[in-house]
Each structure stands twice: as C-alpha cells, then as structure tokens.
C-alpha cells in the first residue's frame, strides 16, 4: 500500500518549525524524532502508549537541498509495516537536546554491553568446567586417591558390621522382650491358678471350721451347757430360771426345803453369839498382852481386831463354828506403809491381778519437801520439822527386818513369822489365866489357832494380820485360810486384797431394803451346806463358799427386793445354782466389787477399784483343764446328791461336830 505523505510540509521552514513539537502521524501517535546519520533511519520513541499495536516510526534527517525539493516518497521496509519517514531539517536548539540523549543512550549501551560480557563469561566458565566436555584422563587426579578409596571402603565395611551388630542387638532385645512377656503371662497364669487353688483351700478350711464350730456348739448345748432356763443372761436382765438343771437333776420341792431349813440350818447358828463373844474376849486379852510386850519405837503397833466372813454375816452353818478376825498393824515411827495396787500399774501379769504390794517408807521422807537430810546445815541452822536428834540423813535408816534384802516392799512370810512369834510370847504371858491350851491349827497358816479344852473339845479361830489401804475398808492380807481364787501369791511381796468388810456392809445394807424374813441368806446357807457335804464325799474342789457368796451378791444387785420373799426360797435357790452353773461353763465369774460400776457409791469404794478392769475369779479354770473338769464334775455330783442329802438330814441330824462348852473357865 502507498504511504500517505500529505502530512509532510511543502516548505523547509514548516518542517523545522515542527521539529520542536512531537510529530503526529495520521493515526494520532505522538512521535519523537531522533537524529540519525545522514541517510540512516532510526526509530522514534513514542511519547505515550497507543491503544493499538505499536508501530515504529522513523525520522530522516535531510539536507536543505533535499528539503527544498518537492516531496518524494521514501522507500519503506516492507509494505504494510506502517513505518513513516520524515525528512527533518537541522536545527541548533534541537541538536543539543538530542546530543544529551545520545550520550545517555551510549552509557546505557555500555552498561548493557558490560552485563552481556559478564553473562558470557559465566557461560564460558561453566562450559569449560563441565565434566562431559573434558574426559577423565585429562583431569588432574590427586596422588592419594587410592588410599582415600581404601579408607572409604574400610569405613563402609565397619558401618556394615555395626549395622549388622545393631540389627542383632535389636533382634536379641526383641526376643528378650518377647520372652519376658511370655514369662509374665505364664507367671500371671500360675498366680491366678494358685489364687484359685488357695481360694478353694481357704473356702474349704472355712467350711470345715464352721462345721467344727457348729458341732462343738451343738455338743456343748446338748451335753455340757445348762438348760435355756438356767442360761440367765447378764445382771441387767436375768430371766426367771424356772426349768430343771442340766442332765435332769432336780432339787427337792419347797416343802422339803422348808422342813430341811427349819430342822438343820435355822438352829445351827444358835451357838454363834456365844462363840463370837468367847472368841472376841480371848483375842482381846491376847492382843493386849501382845501390845504390852512390843516396843513402840522398834516393834509393830497392833490395832483392834475386825470380825469378818460368815460368822459375822449370819450365814455360818458348818461346824465347828469358825471366827475370822482381821488384826491390822502399823509400823513404828517414823515409818509408814504405802500400799500399791495392781491396777495402779500399766501392765501387770494376769497372775498378779487382785494383789498389791506394800512399800515401807519414812513418814517424813520427802513428803513435805524438806532438804535437811540431803544437804549439810550450818552450825547455827536448825530444821523446824526435824529436831537436832531426829535429822534424816541418807543411809541412816535402819533396815526393816520385815522386808526382803534391799527391797523396800513388805514380805508376807516374814510378817507371818513375826506375828506367830508375837502371839506365842503373848500367850505365854497370859496362859496361867486359862484352863485350856492354845495351839496353832495349821503349819502353813500361822494365824490359824485352836483352843483345846480339857474335855477334848476344841474351838478354832483365825487371826489374820492385815494392812489397811488408805482410809477405806479395803485390807491387804498376808494369807487367807480359804483363798477366793484357790491359788497362791506370785511372790512373797504380793498381798491379797480382801473386801470382807465391804461384803459385810453390803449384806447389811441390802437386808434393810429386803422384805422381812428374806430368803437370800437361807439360799446361801443351803448351798454352802451342800458344798461342804460334797467336799467330804469327793474331796475338796476349787469351788468355795466365796464363789457362792459372790454369785449371791450379783443376784441381789440384779433382782428386785420383792423377789427375795421367804415363799420363794426354792426359786431363788434354783436360780443361784443355775447362775453358778452358767459361770462354771463359761469359766467366768467376775469379782463383785472390782470394776463393777453398779455397786452403790454409798459403799465408799476407792476410785482405783471402781475404775479397774473386772477380775475373773474363774481364770485358773481357763489354764488348768483337769482342775476345771474335776470342779465341774464335783458340782454336778453335788446337784445329784442334793435330794438324798436334804432328805437324810431332814429326818436325822448327826452330831459329829463339837460345840462350845456350856461354861468357859477363865482364871
């Protein structure tokens, strides 16, 4: 296509006039003319972006002769390229601007050429160092390459060996873990089997034990235990024991018991007042003679006697009548007795329960905090508590002859020996006044005395040396002719506690609340009579009158006063024997005063006795099975012989025991 040259000015002045403004083509594009060498075309820079495709425009610098010539068409590079050629006349102002632009373009071209050089240098270096372009034999090989390769191979072998070792270690650990797991599972199974077998064995043992206990309970209930009527319960709730005793043993009826009591027992204590009066008068004279022989500074001080036991409680039935008398004594000044009960200690053996010890101390030793015996007083100082001749000094105390060795506790055997010697001296002093002889009844009981008359009759009585506990009616005795527990003291320094005075006070206090002619003492008398006769038939047993009295005291505290009327003698006697039977089978008979909080406070018991643990009088039966069996057999034999004995003595009263003579001669 032919280019449109209509826009080219006809005159040169027009061309030069237009050089200062952008050349505008027919299409509206702004063109900046560039200076180029003569006859050379250069593209012009577009001042603004055209919306259409960008076409380069070319400016041609022409000479004045060419500009004066008529416009002609310049050749174009390719038809349809849209390139326009302009013939621009020279101009000085425009030439300076174009020169600066040319310099700027040259600098940019130089920077571009430097960048291309750097890129070419990098490419050439990369091509030169490429391994594929140069063979291996042409490269520089280090001299120690073979040594390095050998070391690398050796290191590789070590790594392989280490890898094998680690694999083996992992395999071994896995095997051990698996074996341990299997062992644990096996142990768990074995433990479970053992637990199952043990549980089965325990179950079987438990069943056997339960079966054994059931059989034993059944055997005791049907062979050794009392009937349901006799199994009375505790003191709080004692049911009426109306059934027959165990093994079908029965007591005589009420009429037979009344007849027996009237003929054999009621008349027996008739001589008791005269006997007590005679014995008390003689003992009073004997003790007065003993006091006259003793020195107040060195010998014991003997006090007045105290009558205790059945003779003074009005239930004595056995002959000969026996008086029990307590003789309290005190040490000479400045000594005093300090009793120590078993319950005052934290831990006491079972065989020492119910006993106490008596410590001999000085009455003025550390009681008032005096230090005159511990420090040296000056010559001008005098103790107001202790005189100059009575100063307490360490080691100056005389050794007590009634104590053992260096022990400060009183010895029972030495006390008995002293008491026997003192009684012998006292009797020798007054024997000329009486027409009878006095002798010791038993060698093992020095206080057991016996008066022998010229007629051949005799009268026994007991003088028992005792020590009072504080200001109470409780006494510590050196011995008893009839031991409540049937045992012997654990040691010679142990003294037995006696509640005989409290028992007499309780019976006297209870009798005031009971109906007139109450049968409580009658029950005790009949039971004591049966026990004494049985002891003569089969020999003595550990069951004593003290146990019978203890059972009666428990029943008196549990029953209402109206239950002890005279008309209920047979019922109360039956209940007493059943209570004793129950205690024997249970091997448990608690002391009435020790640890019994139901005892009235008016009795005045020491607080230590009231707070103590209950004392079981049948404890020896727990340890001695043969003795227990003998006692139980003797008890049932007594119940079996009771009807025959009562019937026989109701018809005939034997006179095989001596009694008090009608008149005692006193010189």
- Of these ranges, 240-254, 413-427, 480-494, the one predicted with the greatest mean pLDDT is 413-427
Residue with tokens 């650990």: 173
Which has the minimum average pLDDT: 133-142, 196-205, 227-236, 487-496? 227-236
- Of these ranges, 185-189, 331-335, 520-524, the one predicted with the greatest mean pLDDT is 520-524
DSSP state of 250: -
Backbone angles phi, psi at 450, to 5 degrees: -145, 125
The answer, yes or no, to whether residue 77 has pLDDT greater than 60, is no
pLDDT in tens, 505-540: 999 999 999 999 899 999 999 999 999 999 988 888
User: Per-residue DSSP letters for 558-586?
Assistant: HS-GGGG-GGGHHHHHHHHHHHHHHHHHH
Residue of 124 and 241 predicted with greater confidence: 124
Burial status of residue 256 (CB atoms within 10 A of its CB: 0-12, 13-18, 19 or more): middle
Q: Which two tokens stand for residue 392?
A: 């307490």
pLDDT at 131: 61
pLDDT at 544: 92
The answer, yes or no, to whether residue 91 has pLDDT greater than 70, is no
**pTM listed for this prediction:** 0.59
pLDDT in tens, 397-407: 444 567 766 77
**Domain definitions of the chain by residue range:** 256-365+400-651
pLDDT at 381: 55
Confidence of residue 572 (pLDDT cuts 50, 70, 90): very high
pLDDT at 99: 83
Residues 574-585 have a mean pLDDT of 92
- Of these ranges, 121-130, 274-283, 394-403, the one predicted with the greatest mean pLDDT is 274-283
The answer, yes or no, to whether residue 352 has pLDDT greater than 90, is no
pLDDT at 383: 57
Confidence of residue 347 (pLDDT cuts 50, 70, 90): low
The answer, yes or no, to whether residue 631 has pLDDT greater than 50, is yes
Pairing of strands 458-468, 323-330: parallel
Residues 13-28 have a mean pLDDT of 43
The answer, yes or no, to whether residue 493 has pLDDT greater than 50, is yes
Residues 6+ apart with CB under 8 A from 511: 518, 520
The answer, yes or no, to whether residue 190 has pLDDT greater than 60, is yes
Residues 6+ apart with CB under 8 A from 294: 300, 301, 302, 422
Confidence of residue 146 (pLDDT cuts 50, 70, 90): confident
pLDDT at 84: 45
Fold of 256-365+400-651: Beta Polymerase; domain 2 (3.30.460)
CB 352 within 8 A of CB 306: no
pLDDT at 12: 43
pLDDT in tens, 205-234: 888 888 888 887 776 555 443 343 343 344
DSSP state of 240: -
pLDDT in tens, 169-184: 999 999 999 988 888 8
Question: Sign of torsion, CA 183 189 195 201?
Answer: negative
Q: What is the rounded CA–CA span in Å between residue 326 and residue 398?
A: 28
CA 496 to chain centroid, in Å, comes to 35
Average predicted confidence (pLDDT) for the chain: 75
CB 425 within 8 A of CB 417: no
User: Per-residue DSSP letters for 446-497?
Assistant: EEEEEEE-TTS-EEEEEEEEEEE-TTSS-EEES--SS-SSS---SSTT-EEE
What secondary structure, in 3-state letters, does 292-350 show? HHCCCCCCCEECCCEEECHHHHCCCCCCCCCEEEEEEEECCCCEEEEEEEHHHCCCCCH
């Amino acid at each position: 296509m032919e280019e449109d040259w209509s826009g080219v000015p006809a005159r040169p002045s027009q061309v030069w006039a237009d050089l200062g403004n952008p050349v505008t083509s027919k299409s509206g594009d702004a063109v900046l003319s560039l200076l180029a060498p003569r006859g050379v075309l250069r593209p012009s820079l577009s001042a603004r972006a055209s919306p259409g495709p960008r076409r380069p425009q070319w400016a041609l610098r022409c000479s004045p002769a060419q500009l004066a010539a008529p416009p002609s068409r310049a050749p174009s590079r390719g038809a349809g390229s849209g390139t326009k050629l302009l013939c621009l006349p020279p101009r000085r102002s425009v030439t300076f601007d174009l020169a600066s632009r040319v310099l700027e373009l040259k600098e940019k071209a130089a920077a571009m050429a430097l960048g291309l050089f750097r890129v070419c240098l990098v490419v050439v270096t990369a091509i030169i160092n490429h391994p594929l372009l140069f063979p291996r034999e042409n490269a520089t090989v280090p001299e120690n390459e073979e040594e390095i390769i050998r070391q690398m191979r050796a290191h590789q072998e070590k790594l392989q060996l280490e890898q094998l070792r680690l694999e083996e270690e992992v395999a071994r650990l896995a095997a051990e873990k698996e074996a341990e797991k299997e062992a644990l599972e096996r142990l768990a199974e074995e433990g479970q089997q053992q637990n199952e077998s043990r549980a089965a064995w325990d179950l079987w043992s438990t069943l056997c034990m339960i079966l054994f206990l059931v059989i034993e309970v059944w055997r005791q209930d049907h062979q050794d235990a009392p009937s349901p009527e006799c199994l009375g319960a505790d003191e709080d709730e004692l049911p009426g024991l109306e059934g027959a005793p165990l093994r079908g043993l029965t007591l005589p009826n009420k009429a037979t018991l009344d007849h027996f009591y009237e003929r054999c027992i009621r008349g027996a204590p008739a001589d008791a007042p005269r006997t007590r009066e005679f014995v008390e008068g003689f003992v009073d004279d004997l003790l007065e003679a003993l006091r006259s022989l003793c020195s107040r500074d060195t010998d014991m001080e003997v006090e007045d006697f105290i009558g205790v036991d059945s003779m003074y409680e009005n239930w004595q039935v056995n002959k000969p009548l026996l008086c029990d008398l307590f003789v309290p004594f005190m040490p000479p000044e400045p000594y005093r007795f300090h009793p120590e009960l078993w319950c005052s200690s934290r831990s006491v053996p079972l065989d020492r329960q119910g006993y106490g010890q008596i410590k001999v101390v000085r009455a003025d030793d550390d009681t008032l905090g005096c230090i005159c015996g511990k420090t040296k007083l000056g010559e001008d100082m005098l103790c107001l508590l202790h005189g100059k001749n009575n100063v307490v000094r360490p080691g100056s105390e005389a050794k007590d002859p009634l104590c053992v060795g260096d022990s400060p506790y009183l010895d029972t055997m030495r006390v008995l020996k002293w008491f026997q010697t003192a009684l012998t001296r006292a009797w020798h002093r007054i024997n000329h006044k009486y027409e009878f002889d006095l002798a010791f009844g038993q060698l093992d009981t020095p206080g057991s005395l016996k008066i022998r008359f010229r007629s051949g009759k005799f009268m026994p009585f007991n003088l028992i040396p005792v020590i009072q506990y504080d200001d109470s009616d409780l006494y510590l005795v050196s011995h008893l002719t009839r031991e409540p527990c049937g045992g012997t003291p654990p040691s010679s320094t142990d003294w037995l506690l006696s509640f005989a005075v409290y028992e007499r006070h309780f019976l006297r206090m209870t009798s005031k609340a009971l109906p007139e002619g109450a049968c409580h003492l009658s029950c005790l008398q009949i039971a004591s009579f049966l026990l004494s006769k049985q002891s003569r038939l089969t020999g003595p047993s550990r069951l004593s009158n003290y146990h019978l009295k203890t059972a009666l005291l428990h029943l008196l505290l549990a029953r209402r006063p109206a239950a002890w009327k005279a008309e209920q003698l047979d019922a109360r006697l039956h209940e007493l024997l059943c209570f004793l039977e129950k205690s024997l089978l249970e091997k448990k008979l608690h002391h009435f005063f020790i640890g019994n909080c139901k005892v009235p406070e008016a009795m005045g018991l020491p607080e230590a006795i009231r707070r103590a643990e209950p004392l079981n009088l049948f404890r020896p039966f727990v340890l001695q099975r043969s003795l227990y069996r003998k006692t139980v057999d003797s008890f049932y034999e007594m119940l079996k012989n009771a009807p025959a004995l009562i019937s026989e003595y109701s018809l005939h009263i034997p006179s095989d025991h001596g009694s008090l003579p009608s008149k005692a001669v006193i010189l």
